[in-house]
């Protein structure tokens, strides 16, 4: 489980108060379901815990699906689905002296530089993943797993003209069996 927050990359240019005003509803909780090269990222409303958006990767079609269930009896509203093959060009570099402790785990950091934007990943080898299960042309979140060979405990997405950094920081990790239907796509 991650906490999603937004911060200013340059507090001299845009203050934390301005960021709070512009993105007041962005402070949310996200649940990541992961098995091999399947993932499902469920964003919840922080106050009500209701599902806001689901981001799901289907390795069979090699597509990402973003959708919202309007209510429990309705069909899902598919916001987008895209082929992910063009999203995998980046340069990987060590993050220098950047280190952190997340969930009590000492973390290393790497930067994936996409040219116009970058993503910094903090990870601990305690939460290793088998990266050979993940296809080379998989979408960005799975690229993070491939490059770290671990579940990222903190993800900082910056650049691309954005006035903010998007930050996902792990607040809880649960390992164990998943419901076999968790990766079923809505009809």
What is the second-level CATH architecture of the domain 2-170?
Answer: Clam (2.50)
pLDDT of res. 171: 95
Rg (CA), the chain: 17
String of DSSP letters for 39-97: EEEEEE-TTT--EEEEEEEETTTTEEEEEEESSTTSPEEEEEEEE-GGG---EEEE-TT
The rounded distance, in Å, linking the Cα atoms of 186 and 144 is 26
The burial of 46, by beta-carbon neighbours within 10 Å (0-12 exposed, 13-18 middle, 19 or more buried), is given as middle
The rounded distance, in Å, linking the Cα atoms of 14 and 18 is 6
- Regarding pTM above 0.85, the answer is no
CB 87 within 8 A of CB 135: no
The rounded distance, in Å, linking the Cα atoms of 121 and 57 is 20
- Along the 187 residues of the chain, how does pLDDT read in single tens digits? 998 888 877 777 777 777 676 766 666 889 999 888 888 999 887 778 888 888 888 888 888 888 876 655 545 555 555 544 444 556 777 766 667 899 999 999 998 888 888 889 999 999 998 888 777 777 778 888 888 889 999 999 887 667 788 899 999 999 899 998 999 887 7
Residue ranges per structural domain of the chain: 2-170
pLDDT of res. 162: 73
């Amino acid at each position: 489980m991650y906490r999603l927050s937004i911060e200013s990359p340059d507090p001299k240019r845009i203050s934390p108060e301005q960021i709070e005003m512009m993105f007041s509803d962005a402070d949310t909780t996200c649940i990541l379901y992961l098995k091999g090269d399947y993932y499902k990222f469920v964003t919840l409303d922080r106050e009500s815990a209701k599902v806001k958006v689901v981001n799901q990767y289907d390795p069979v079609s090699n597509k990402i699906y973003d959708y919202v269930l309007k209510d429990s009896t309705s069909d899902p509203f598919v916001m987008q689905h895209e082929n992910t093959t063009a999203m995998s060009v980046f340069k990987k570099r060590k993050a220098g002296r950047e280190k952190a402790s997340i969930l009590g785990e000492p973390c290393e950091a790497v930067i994936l530089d996409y040219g116009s934007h970058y993503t910094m990943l903090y990870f601990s080898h305690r939460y290793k993943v088998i990266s050979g299960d993940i296809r080379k042309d998989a979408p960005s979140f799975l690229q993070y797993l491939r490059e770290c060979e671990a579940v990222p405990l903190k993800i900082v997405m910056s650049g691309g003209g954005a006035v903010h950094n998007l930050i996902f920081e792990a607040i809880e990790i649960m390992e164990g069996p998943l419901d076999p239907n968790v990766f079923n796509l809505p009809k």
